[in-house]
Amino acid sequence: MGKFKFYTALWMAKLSILALRITKHNGTNFPGKLAVKICPDFLSRIGKPELIICVTGTNGKTTCSNMICDAFAAQGKKVIGNRYGSNLEEGICSCLLEGAGLSGKSKASIAVIELDERSAPRVFPHVKPDYIVITNLFRDSIMRNAHPDYIAWILTQNIPSSSKLIVNADDLISSRVAPGNERVCCGIEKLPTDVIECENLINDMRICPKCGSKLVYDYRRYHHIGKAHCPDCDFKSFDYDYSGHDIDFENMTVQITDKEGTGTYHIPNDSIFNIYNAVMVAALFRELGTPVSELVAMMQKIEVPKSRFSREKIGTMSVTQQLAKEMNALAVTRATDYVRTLPGHKRLFLLISCYTDKRDWSENTCWMYDCDFEMMNDPLIDMCVCTGPRALDFKLRLLYAGVPEEKIHCDIDERRAAREFELRSGDDVYIFCGIDAFDLVDDCKNIIRERCRKIEGIGDGK
């Protein structure tokens, strides 16, 4: 009966892939959903590639797994992944389905799977990755993820003991998950911009997990990211197996030293969180046996996905789309911290209400007061545009952060806000957007781009 169900599920799902392709609906989770509906243990029965790499963590999962896929592509290797699907069980089923033949056996040799941390209990019993990259653990959705200790607990309970972990040693929460597993530790050595005391509202690693004493940070990059030790017991950050250092922002490179030597690698973006992603990707490939010289060439070809960061120059103006995941205080803080340090005067267009929640309930806004909106109170940020269903909450939060009222444009209607906020020649507009309203983001971006073209006298009839 089990086999019958499995093959029915496999063939029906395969047929649905074909139908979706014909109707140009690629990249949905429907085939995986259908397969699980027909055969609830489909994930355990479907064939798996020889090498499975999983990427999980609060932030950087998509970027990191896409970078890994790009690197394999640079090696000329074909991989399957859930790049265009979801990172839940159904998305992973869809990905493995794509790679399987009609017999259910895998035709692919490598899978790169991005996994939502909360899905670990449903996925890891059936999929045993050879390597698991854990990017970091921070506060995320309060409703789903509660707090980072909770997610660390879920991962520890569910990560297969055979998986080798690639962890961020600068993150004292994520680097300690699944303590019995073999792991390699990555990190970025002390930077001139590092501090000692936390300057952020979120700081989730203040006390020693062994003895409860206040941790001493040797240096801190942001939040709980840095190097720390306990003054009263032997607890400390892991030593690096892969150490990032000498970041050259002009030439966009980072040097990474491991036990066999040092390589100079291309970084696809100059934000520190993307440099972490690059170091972790390099560590993974070194663990897979890729020689430094080959890896250096491969890393030249990796990119940050456009949905994460893209910029268009329009005369003296520019429009930048910056991912700042909704309801994620950390992601919005990191995006703001990055943007505020860029040169030039900026206007921030905040499209970060949770549009999924808007459909049938009202967003939990606690995250706004965990997020460092204080960073938007910056002399180079000339305006913050608050839009969407939570526009009034954003306005209140910005006032609370010290942003002068005259710098705030508040309008619940997003498109109207895009049409009406003050825009001048020379402005750089940053659209902060989440991942659940791409059509709305595109509409607002197009409106702002058109306005920029008009101001700059570029385009038809100008």
Residues near another protein (CB under 8 A) are 121, 139, 142-144, 146-147, 149-150, 153, 201, 203, 206-207, 212-214, 357, 360-362, 364-370, 392-393, 395-396, 399-400
Q: Name beta bridge partners: 381.
A: 346
Query: In angstroms, what is the minimal distance from the CB of 329 to another protein?
Result: 8
CB of 100 to another protein, least distance (A): 30
| Complex with another protein: residue 80 or 178, whichever CB lies closer | 178
The nearer residue to another protein, 152 or 298, going by C-beta atoms, is: 152
* Residue (249 or 400) nearer to another protein, CB: 400
Contact 414, 444 (CB under 8 A): yes
C-beta of 350: minimal distance to another protein in Å?
15
As measured in angstroms, the least distance from the Cβ of 369 to another protein is 3
Phi, psi of 189 (to 5 degrees): -60, 170
Q: Are 136 and 60 in contact (CB under 8 A)?
A: yes
Rounded to a whole number of angstroms, the minimum distance from the CB of residue 395 to another protein is 6
Identify which of residues 232 and 287 has a Cβ nearer to another protein in the complex: 232
Q: Of 348, 380, 364, which Cα lies nearest the Cα of 444?
A: 348
Among 434, 442, 439, which Cα is nearest to 323's? 434
Give the integer Cα–Cα distance in Å for 96 and 245: 37
Q: What is the dihedral of CA 299, 136, 384, 453, to 10 degrees?
A: 20
Specify the residue, 360 or 460, whose C-beta has the smaller distance to another protein.
Answer: 360
Question: What's the CA angle centered on 21, arms 73 and 19, to 5 degrees?
Answer: 140
> In the complex with another protein, which residue's Cβ is closer, 166 or 215?
215
- Nearest approach in angstroms of CB 208 to another protein is 11
Residues 6+ apart with CB under 8 A from 268: 67, 252, 274, 278, 302, 303, 304
3-state secondary structure 262-298: EEEEECCCCCHHHHHHHHHHHHHHHHCCCCHHHHHHH
CB nearer another protein, residue 51 or residue 201: 201
Q: Which two tokens stand for residue 23?
A: 């109707």
Q: Please identify, using beta-carbon distances, which residue of 110 and 154 lies nearer to another protein.
A: 154
Closest by CA to 445, choosing from 315, 316, 318, 271, is: 318
> What is the C-alpha to C-alpha distance for residues 271 and 13, in angstroms, rounded to an integer?
40
Select 206 or 345, whichever has its Cβ closest to another protein: 206
Closest CA to 249 of 165, 341, 332: 341
Report which DSSP code applies to 10: H
Q: Which CB sits closer to another protein, 185 or 208?
A: 208
Q: Which is nearer to another protein, 139 or 445 (CB)?
A: 139
Q: Tell me how far, at minimum, the Cβ of 154 lies from another protein, in Å.
A: 9
Number of residues that make up the chain: 462
Half-sphere exposure for 188 (CA within 13 Å, toward CB): 26
186 neighbors 169 (Cβ within 8 angstroms): yes
Q: Cα dist. 93→28, 120, 130, 432 in Å?
A: 11, 14, 18, 31
Q: How far is the CB of 139 from another protein (least distance, A)?
A: 8
CA distance 146 to 117: 12
Residues 6+ apart with CB under 8 A from 227: 170, 187, 190, 217, 218, 219, 237
Identify which of residues 225 and 354 has a Cβ nearer to another protein in the complex.
354
C-alpha angle 423/363/222, rounded to 5°?
70
Smallest separation (angstroms) from another protein to the CB of 331: 16
Q: How far is the CB of 37 from another protein (least distance, A)?
A: 20
How far, in Å, CA of 340 to CA of 156, rounded?
Answer: 36
In the bound complex, what is the minimum distance in angstroms from residue 365's beta carbon to another protein?
8
The minimum distance between CB 354 and another protein, in angstroms, equals 11
